[in-house]
């Protein structure tokens, strides 16, 4: 059961992972791996594939860019599949002419092609796909590197441009192919036959890059029969041998060489291809009738015993039925060595040992009849004696014109004896001669005892067992005859003196080593009478044995920015050389720096701005110096110089110099840091420590800073900032802690590290590690060794000493004023690690319940608890914290309803090491009793007692004058009363309410007139009174004020003094002393007022006249309001 459950879980896990994987396709871009080495002028193709998009059938748009070595950080647009104007101007022409193309092979793959590479095409190519989807996931670009090198492939053929042979003859052609590429390359070579009338040439024989021989179509049988061979002779010579030419061999023959390099994907690529000059081959045919009858062969000698210098004549006779219709070959042999052969078509061919004697006329062979053949040797030599035989065989001709050899028939042997004759001719030569490769070989042959005319033949054989082959000859008439193999060589045969012959062969190679023979013949009347020879062993020392290449430097270990000089010393004789400088950064990549050719031309590769070249000639060596100006890390690596010589139309590479490692080291860091001293802080306070660079920075200095916490196992990375100021947190810092941590950079430069609300666990040893980054001469950034400083941080928990002011604080205020209730912390408020929760409590006068009015918690959250009865009061509260230790409560527009007892409750909180809030203490202030009073009664009315005697129908006023009022906001209600004489009842006659409403309460509204001329003066006039209206009159004033809690409320009531009015009927006279006196006073006051007014008017007129006289033509000031507007209210400044 357990196993079953585990299996189910495993299956479910795999299922869900599969769904997750299927749901998120990852885009992948892949480009052909590099570096790709290609030669100048060759085509370049780079494939680029993308995968992982939602749709595989939708065509993807792809772009190609390049970063060139001289500017490795600058991208140049080349071509795009979706934008014709994507490329920069440097590539526009080549894109429009389709020299550069980008073609879709499939919807998800493209092929980028350059038809002919240029030197400037070297660089890092980037293939980018344009994302057409809404999300990004994967790799949308890939890069590969292309190296453009020189084409150093050389192909040549020394054969004549036109050759004629008979059918059945042998043909030998040579081709020389070599390359000077320092990269590891292979050569392949193919001999082609291009027949007239055919479009394409046919391969005869090929040697591929793996050194495998392959015959071309139609040549397989002849290759298997040994009639066609391709041999590689030495380092660069390829020889084609065709033993029996056929009519089908006629045409133009040439050799083609290809240079191959292996790309990083292990595929082979042709980087260069060249053809040699064509040689036209003509083959002449002869028709014969095949027969299968047997042959009888006989041999005879004209003389069997001869002396040296005489003529040897050998005759061969062939007998068979129908001889005239037969086709056969015949050959002469001595000691199983073939002297000469007459082929089926009558063509004479001579064995290698006797080829020179044919040219000298010493050997002649011919068919002298249908059955008879003759061979003549003259003059004979003692080495010619021995047994001779004749060998004949039938040749059948097939439908394709090729000959098929039948059975061989030999004659009996013929013994010829040759004795030496005395002669005064002798030859003298130096036995051994040594010469360096590339120099001229000079051989001298001294002749003694000369009687007649002389001819000389210079011959050579590579080994002692080989046979001599002719090099060059000089006839008795002084005519020079070159051997076929040396027609393209610089060779001369001269006779500077009568008894001296010389051989001169230029640009010798080690393959020219061997035994050279000087064969001198004496002639009399066109007949050779005697011959003598002498040999010399010639050794050609290869160039690598006398030309040595070594690489040295005085300063191969340098600091970034310093100069480096590398000296390549080429010792040996002065020969034309090609020198290549190369740099190897790692085991697999070898890059060319430059190549200096023998004619002085220099070919640079890649970025050449940092290099200079100097050549110094000395007695026995040439020093080629490579100067590196301002070395950077890119110039670090293994340097090598390579030398090659161009001899016999091919490049011969000499062993390279030793590798010289150039190490470019970083400078020693001179960084000096100063840090904050050890810190001791309270818990929950903010911490800041600083790390400053006090040393002098360089012009390109950048700094990467890492703050670490020292632990026993390993240092823990807290936060770091790289050289680009990108801040990242360490992997061991949880996300919950990252919001408390920050770092910033200030001047000098300085690096500040901050922790907010520090905890006990934050204490420890903090390390400030600074890495200085510098820029090398190429613009690349590199870092120096880090420098660090340690800062100790101690986090402590302070003691609890919270105390508040608890004295009872009675407070009185007037209604409408702003009240402030104080809450002060007496101690324990000065630690940044402590936080406070403050609540104001309220108990009303008529209530025993205590409610929370407002609360400010320790996190800074302000809250008003829901209470319908206190909603008005809460809306007028203002809780603030002007200082760290005070939390005053303000009450705006206080009124009677705010009366009561107030208390301030403070709770102290602190964060523990786990980040949880812990209450440390709680205190409450003493009660604060608030009493809000309305305005005080200050109302006063003028209470003067007066008497008034008037006649009937004479109006009289009843004034009501307010002397003082309690508040500027007071409103008044005025009521006038009337009391008859000898009665106690006071009757209201008229009321003016505070809202300006008037009420007639006496029923005589037509006799009453109300007026309010001044804010504090109310007047009621009684019109046309009658005697019945006599009595006491007074006014009653009610003062009303607006209340915040009760609306309008009556504050005070005051009465004025009594006005006694006596109304008499008409004709009644009554003397009253007091009123008359008073009338005189009022008349006096009126007269005085009129006199003062006239005096003021006179003074003003006098001033106006004076201003006109003094002003002259100036316009006087106008008192119209348009020019001098009146100020409506004095400003504060006034």
The kind and range of the H/E element at 239 are strand 237-242
**Backbone angles phi and psi of 145, in degrees to 5:** -105, 135
Is the pLDDT at 800 greater than 70, yes or no? no
- Compute the CA torsion angle 1073, 1077, 1083, 1087 (nearest 10 deg): 150
User: Are the CB atoms for 798 and 831 separated by under 8 Å?
Assistant: yes
pLDDT category at 1074 given cuts 50, 70, 90 is: very low
Q: What is the DSSP letter of 438?
A: T
pLDDT at 1010: 92
110 CB neighbour count, 10 Å cutoff: 28
Distance of alpha carbon 738 from alpha carbon 730, whole angstroms:
10
pLDDT at 747: 82
Q: Report helix, strand or coil for 1025.
A: coil
For the segment 947-971, the average pLDDT, to the nearest whole number, is: 88
Tokens of 526: 């066109």
Is the pLDDT at 13 greater than 50, yes or no? no
pLDDT in tens, 453-464: 888 999 998 887
Q: For 374, left (φ over 0), alpha (ψ -120 to 50), or beta?
A: beta
User: Are the CB atoms for 137 and 118 separated by under 8 Å?
Assistant: no
Cα–Cα distances in Å, from 176 out to 184, 190, 240, 416? 19, 12, 11, 44
1106 vs 1027, residue with greater confidence = 1027
Question: Is the CA virtual torsion 321, 324, 327, 329 positive or negative?
Answer: positive
- Give bridge partners of residue 647 from the DSSP assignment: 650
Parallel, antiparallel, or unpaired for β 900-911 and 917-924? antiparallel
**Backbone angles phi and psi of 545, in degrees to 5:** -90, -20
Q: Report helix, strand or coil for 336.
A: coil
User: Are the CB atoms for 278 and 250 separated by under 8 Å?
Assistant: no
Question: Is the CA virtual torsion 1037, 1043, 1046, 1048 positive or negative?
Answer: positive
For the segment 186-197, the average pLDDT, to the nearest whole number, is: 93
pLDDT in tens, 638-651: 999 999 887 767 77
Judge if the upstream peptide bond of residue 379 is cis by omega within 30 degrees of 0.
Answer: yes
pLDDT at 1032: 92
Distance of alpha carbon 801 from alpha carbon 823, whole angstroms:
17
Helices (H) and strands (E) in the chain, counts: 8, 86
Question: Is the CA virtual torsion 15, 20, 23, 28 positive or negative?
Answer: negative
Is the pLDDT at 104 greater than 90, yes or no? yes
pLDDT in tens, 130-189: 988 888 888 899 999 999 998 889 998 877 778 888 887 888 899 989 998 888 899 999
Is the pLDDT at 628 greater than 80, yes or no? yes
Burial class (CB in 10 A: 0-12, 13-18, 19+), 473: buried
Q: Which of 475, 439, 820 is nearest to 648 (CA)?
A: 439
User: Are the CB atoms for 188 and 203 separated by under 8 Å?
Assistant: no
Parallel, antiparallel, or unpaired for β 1059-1064 and 1031-1043? antiparallel
Chain centroid, CA 1060 distance in Å: 113
Sheet containing 621-628: order of strands: 548-553, 564-571, 621-628, 611-617
Is the pLDDT at 1022 greater than 50, yes or no? yes
For the segment 259-285, the average pLDDT, to the nearest whole number, is: 89
Give the side-chain half-sphere CA count within 13 A for 534: 17
**Backbone angles phi and psi of 223, in degrees to 5:** -70, -40
pLDDT category at 757 given cuts 50, 70, 90 is: confident
User: Are the CB atoms for 739 and 722 separated by under 8 Å?
Assistant: no
**Residue with token string 């004759």:** 421
DSSP code per residue over 897-909? GG-EEEEEEEEEE
Distance of alpha carbon 839 from alpha carbon 827, whole angstroms:
18
Sheet containing 296-301: order of strands: 296-301, 312-319, 372-377, 363-367
Q: What is the DSSP letter of 1107?
A: H
User: Are the CB atoms for 817 and 935 separated by under 8 Å?
Assistant: no
Is the pLDDT at 511 greater than 80, yes or no? yes
pLDDT in tens, 309-335: 788 999 999 887 776 677 789 999 998
Q: Which of 107, 150, 99, 102 is nearest to 127 (CA)?
A: 102
Burial class (CB in 10 A: 0-12, 13-18, 19+), 1033: buried
For the segment 736-743, the average pLDDT, to the nearest whole number, is: 87
Q: Which of 417, 385, 427 is nearest to 531 (CA)?
A: 427
Chain centroid, CA 555 distance in Å: 32
User: Are the CB atoms for 552 and 606 separated by under 8 Å?
Assistant: no
pLDDT category at 1107 given cuts 50, 70, 90 is: low
For the segment 219-233, the average pLDDT, to the nearest whole number, is: 89
**Residue with token string 């929950």:** 684
Q: What is the DSSP letter of 724?
A: T
Parallel, antiparallel, or unpaired for β 1047-1055 and 337-342? unpaired
443 vs 758, residue with greater confidence = 443
For the segment 1101-1125, the average pLDDT, to the nearest whole number, is: 47
- Give bridge partners of residue 272 from the DSSP assignment: 259
Distance of alpha carbon 190 from alpha carbon 203, whole angstroms:
7
Ranges of beta strands (E only) in 525-649 are 527-541, 548-553, 557-559, 564-571, 577-584, 590-596, 602-604, 611-617, 621-628, 637-647
Cα–Cα distances in Å, from 38 out to 34, 35, 263, 650, 1113? 11, 10, 10, 21, 104
Cα–Cα distances in Å, from 61 out to 76, 87, 129, 137, 284? 18, 14, 6, 17, 63
pLDDT at 485: 77
3-state helix, strand, coil in the chain (%, to 5): 10, 50, 40
Parallel, antiparallel, or unpaired for β 679-682 and 787-796? parallel
Tokens of 981: 């004489």
Q: What is the DSSP letter of 845?
A: T
The kind and range of the H/E element at 958 are strand 956-964
Core vs surface per residue 153-186: b (16+ CB within 10 A) or e: bbbbbbbeeebebbbbbebebbbbbbbbbbbebe
Judge if the upstream peptide bond of residue 35 is cis by omega within 30 degrees of 0.
Answer: yes
Distance of alpha carbon 299 from alpha carbon 372, whole angstroms:
10
479 vs 814, residue with greater confidence = 479
pLDDT in tens, 589-626: 788 888 998 888 888 886 777 789 999 988 888 999 99
Distance of alpha carbon 117 from alpha carbon 271, whole angstroms:
11
Q: Which of 325, 464, 337, 476 is nearest to 395 (CA)?
A: 325
pLDDT at 1081: 63
Core vs surface per residue 439-458: b (16+ CB within 10 A) or e: bebebbbbbeeeeebbbbbb
**Residue with token string 């005080």:** 936
User: Are the CB atoms for 692 and 751 separated by under 8 Å?
Assistant: yes
């Amino acid at each position: 059961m357990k196993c079953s459950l585990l299996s189910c879980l495993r299956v479910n896990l795999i299922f869900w992972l599969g769904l997750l994987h299927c749901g998120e396709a990852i885009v992948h871009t892949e480009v052909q791996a590099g570096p790709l080495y290609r030669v100048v002028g060759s085509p370049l193709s780079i494939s680029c594939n993308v995968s992982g998009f939602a749709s595989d059938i939708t065509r993807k748009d792809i772009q190609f860019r390049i970063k060139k070595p001289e500017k490795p950080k600058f991208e140049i647009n080349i071509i795009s599949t979706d934008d014709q104007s994507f490329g920069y101007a440097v590539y526009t022409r080549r894109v429009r002419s389709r020299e550069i193309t980008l073609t879709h092979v499939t919807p998800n793959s493209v092929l980028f092609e350059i038809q002919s590479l240029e030197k400037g095409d070297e660089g890092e190519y980037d293939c980018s796909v344009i994302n057409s989807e809404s999300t990004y996931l994967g790799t949308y670009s890939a890069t590969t590197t292309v190296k453009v090198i020189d084409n150093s492939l050389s192909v040549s053929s020394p054969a004549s441009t036109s050759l004629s042979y008979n059918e059945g003859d042998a043909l030998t052609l040579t081709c020389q192919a070599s390359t000077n590429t320092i990269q590891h390359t292979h050569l392949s070579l193919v001999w082609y036959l291009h027949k007239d009338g055919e479009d394409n040439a046919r391969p005869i024989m090929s040697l591929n890059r793996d050194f495998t021989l392959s015959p071309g179509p139609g040549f397989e049988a002849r290759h298997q029969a040994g009639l066609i061979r391709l041999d590689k002779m030495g380092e660069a010579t390829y020889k084609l041998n065709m033993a029996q030419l056929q009519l089908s061999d006629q045409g133009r023959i040439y050799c083609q060489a290809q240079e191959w390099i292996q790309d990083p994907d292990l595929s082979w690529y042709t980087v260069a291809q060249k053809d040699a000059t064509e040689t036209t081959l003509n083959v002449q045919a002869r028709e014969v009738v095949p027969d299968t009858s047997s042959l009888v062969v006989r041999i005879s000698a004209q003389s069997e015993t001869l002396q040296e210098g005489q003529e040897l004549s050998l005759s061969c006779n062939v007998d068979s039925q129908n001889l005239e219709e037969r086709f056969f070959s015949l050959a002469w042999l001595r000691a199983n060595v073939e002297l000469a052969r007459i082929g089926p078509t009558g063509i004479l061919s001579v064995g290698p040992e006797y080829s020179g004697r044919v040219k000298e006329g010493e050997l002649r062979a011919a068919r002298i009849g249908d059955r008879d053949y003759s061979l003549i040797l003259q003059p004979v030599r003692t080495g010619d004696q021995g047994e001779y035989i004749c060998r004949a065989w039938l040749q059948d001709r097939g439908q394709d014109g090729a000959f098929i050899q039948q059975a061989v028939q030999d004659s009996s042997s013929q013994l010829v004896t040759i004795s030496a004759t005395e002669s005064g001719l002798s030859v003298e030569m130096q036995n051994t001669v040594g010469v360096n490769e590339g120099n001229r070989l000079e051989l001298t042959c001294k002749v003694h005892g000369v009687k007649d005319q002389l001819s000389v033949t210079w011959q050579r054989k590579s080994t002692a067992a080989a046979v001599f082959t002719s090099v060059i000859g000089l006839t008795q008439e002084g005519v020079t005859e070159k051997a076929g193999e040396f027609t393209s060589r610089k060779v001369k045969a001269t006779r500077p003196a009568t008894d001296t012959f010389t051989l001169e062969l230029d640009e010798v190679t080690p393959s020219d080593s061997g035994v050279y023979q000087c064969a001198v013949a004496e002639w009399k009347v066109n007949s050779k009478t005697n011959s003598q020879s002498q040999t010399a062993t010639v050794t050609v020392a290869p160039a690598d044995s006398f030309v040595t290449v070594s690489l040295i430097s005085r300063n191969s270990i340098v600091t970034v920015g310093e100069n480096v000089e590398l000296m390549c010393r080429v010792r040996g004789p002065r020969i034309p050389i090609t020198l290549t400088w190369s740099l190897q950064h790692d085991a697999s990549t070898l890059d060319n720096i430059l190549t200096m050719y023998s004619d002085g031309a220099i070919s640079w590769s890649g970025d050449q701005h940092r290099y200079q070249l100097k050549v110094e000639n000395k007695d026995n060596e040439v020093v080629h110096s490579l100067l590196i100006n301002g070395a950077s890390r890119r110039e670090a690596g293994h340097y090598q110089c390579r030398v090659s010589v161009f001899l016999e139309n091919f490049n011969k590479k000499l062993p390279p110099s030793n590798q010289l490692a150039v190490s470019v080291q970083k400078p020693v860091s001179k960084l000096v840091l100063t840090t904050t001293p050890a810190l001791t802080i309270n818990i929950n306070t903010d911490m800041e420590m600083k790390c400053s660079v006090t040393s002098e920075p360089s012009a390109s200095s950048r700094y990467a800073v890492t703050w670490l916490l020292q632990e026993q196992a390993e240092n823990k990375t807290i936060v770091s900032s790289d050289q680009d100021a990108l801040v990242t947190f360490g992997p061991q810092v949880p996300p919950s802690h990252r919001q408390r941590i920050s770092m910033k950079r200030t001047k000098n430069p300085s690096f500040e590290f901050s922790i907010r609300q520090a905890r006990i666990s934050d204490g420890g040893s903090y390390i400030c590690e600074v890495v200085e980054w510098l820029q090398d001469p190429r613009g690349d950034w590199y870092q120096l060794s880090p420098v660090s400083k340690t800062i100790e941080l101690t986090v402590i928990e302070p003691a609890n000493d919270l105390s508040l002011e608890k004295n009872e604080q009675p407070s009185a205020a007037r209604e409408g004023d702003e009240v402030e209730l104080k809450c002060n912390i007496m101690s324990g408020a000065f630690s940044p690690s402590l936080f406070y929760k403050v609540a104001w409590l309220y108990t009303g006068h008529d209530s025993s319940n205590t409610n929370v009015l407002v609360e400010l918690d320790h996190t800074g959250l302000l809250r008003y608890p829901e209470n319908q009865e206190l909603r008005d009061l809460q809306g007028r509260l203002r809780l603030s914290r002007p200082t760290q230790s005070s939390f005053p409560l303000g009450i705006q527009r206080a009124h009677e309803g705010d009366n009561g007892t107030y208390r301030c409750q403070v709770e102290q909180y602190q964060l523990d090491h786990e980040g949880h809030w812990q209450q440390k203490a709680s205190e409450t202030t003493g009660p604060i009793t608030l009493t809000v009073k309305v305005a005080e009664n200050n109302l006063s009315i003028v209470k003067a007692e007066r008497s008034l005697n008037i006649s009937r129908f004479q109006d009289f006023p009843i004034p009501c004058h307010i002397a003082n009022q309690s508040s500027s906001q007071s409103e008044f209600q005025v009521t006038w009363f009337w009391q008859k004489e000898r009665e106690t009842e006071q009757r209201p006659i008229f009321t003016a309410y505070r809202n300006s409403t008037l009420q007639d309460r006496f029923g005589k509204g037509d006799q009453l007139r109300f007026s309010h001329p001044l804010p504090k003066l109310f007047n009621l006039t009684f019109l046309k009174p009658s005697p019945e209206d006599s009595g006491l009159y007074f006014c009653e004033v009610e003062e009303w004020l607006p209340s915040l809690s009760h609306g309008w409320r009556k504050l005070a009531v005051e009465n004025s003094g009594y006005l006694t009015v006596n109304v008499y009927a008409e004709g009644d006279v009554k003397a009253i002393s007091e009123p008359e006196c008073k009338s005189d006073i009022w008349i006096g006051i009126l007269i005085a007022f009129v006199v003062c007014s006239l005096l003021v008017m006179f003074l003003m007129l006098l001033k106006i006249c004076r201003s006109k006289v003094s002003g002259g033509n100036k316009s006087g000031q106008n008192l119209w309001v348009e020019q001098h507007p009146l100020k409506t209210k004095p400003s504060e400044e006034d």
